[in-house]
Amino acid sequence: MSPGSAEPMIAPSILSADFARLAEAADAVSGADWLHVDVMDAHFVPNLTIGLPVVKSLHRATDLPLDCHLMIDDPDRWAPGYAEAGAANVTFHVEAAADAVATARAIRAAGALAGLSVKPGTPLEPYLEVLREFDTLLVMTVEPGFGGQEFMAEVLPKVRLARKEVRAGHLRLFIEVDGGIGGDTIEAAAEAGADVFVAGSAVFGADDPGRAVEGLRRQARGSMSV
Ligand code: DX5
Ligand code: ZN
């Protein structure tokens, strides 16, 4: 799938899965587009999750493209390693990066898509030029660190701005939203212009994660404006 294809992409976040059964969690959402992997270092965010060895193992355990979301300090040093480990998309935070463009180039050189993420309080305008070096923009719709938080509709103007830039041909990006996405919120995000939807608790908290993915996809498809 390429940016702007008008097909929503659903990326279940394994942060809400059972960490002792990640391969089974991946199997349960085999109809998804990407598998979202939240890497946290207990420095950039106050939580510690998984790192490179688990990403390598997951890559062997599933055919789903891995969407690694690095919530870590010093991504310039660590991000390319995730691309080398087989991630399809490697997203890092602009707030943590020393040289976002150089890091994007290193990720792409290692064979992955490069993604830039902004926290809810980080404006987008200063990075519109830098985003020309990226494949994905991840707009956080909660404060990064934990699953199960409430969606922040007040960040949607950033999604609208990014979609406007893509429509005008200034940028070519997947526009991904992450945090609090579920049946009650995915339509607002899709209307604003998102085309990749991360969902943790709404998928892995459901009785049937595979059906939850399909339900979210249907809702997004009905509301998307790419
Ligand atoms: C939060 C993570 C999210 C999280 C989303 O920092 O980046 O990917 O897993 O979880 P939900 O969908 O439950 O808000
Ligand atoms: Zn995430």
Which of 10, 13, 18 gets mutated to test ligand 1 (max ligand atoms within 8 A of its CB)? 13
**Residue 4 maps to a domain:** no
Q: Is 74 a catalytic residue?
A: no
Would 127 be classed as within a structural domain? Answer: yes
Q: Is 1 a domain residue?
A: no
Q: Report the predicted TM-score, pTM, of the whole model to 2 decimal places.
A: 0.98
Q: Is the Cβ atom of 15 under 6 angstroms away from ligand 1? A: yes
In a domain, 137, yes or no: yes
- 2 lies in some domain: no
Residues 6 or more apart whose CB falls under 8 angstroms from that of 151 comprise 141, 142, 179, 180, 181, 182, 184, 185
Instruction: Please indicate, yes or no, if residue 193 is contained in any of the structural domains.
Output: yes
Whether 60 maps to a domain, the answer reads yes
Give the count of domains, the chain. 1
Q: Looking at residue 62, which CATH number applies to its domain?
A: 3.20.20.70
> Is 3 a member of any domain?
no
End-to-end CA distance of the chain: 14
Range of the domain at 162: 9-223
Show pLDDT as tens, one digit a residue, over the chain (226 residues). Answer: 677 677 999 999 999 999 999 999 999 999 999 999 999 999 999 999 999 999 999 999 999 999 999 999 999 999 999 999 999 999 999 999 999 999 999 999 999 999 999 999 999 999 999 999 999 999 999 999 999 999 999 999 999 999 999 999 999 999 999 999 999 999 999 999 999 999 999 999 999 999 999 999 999 999 997 7
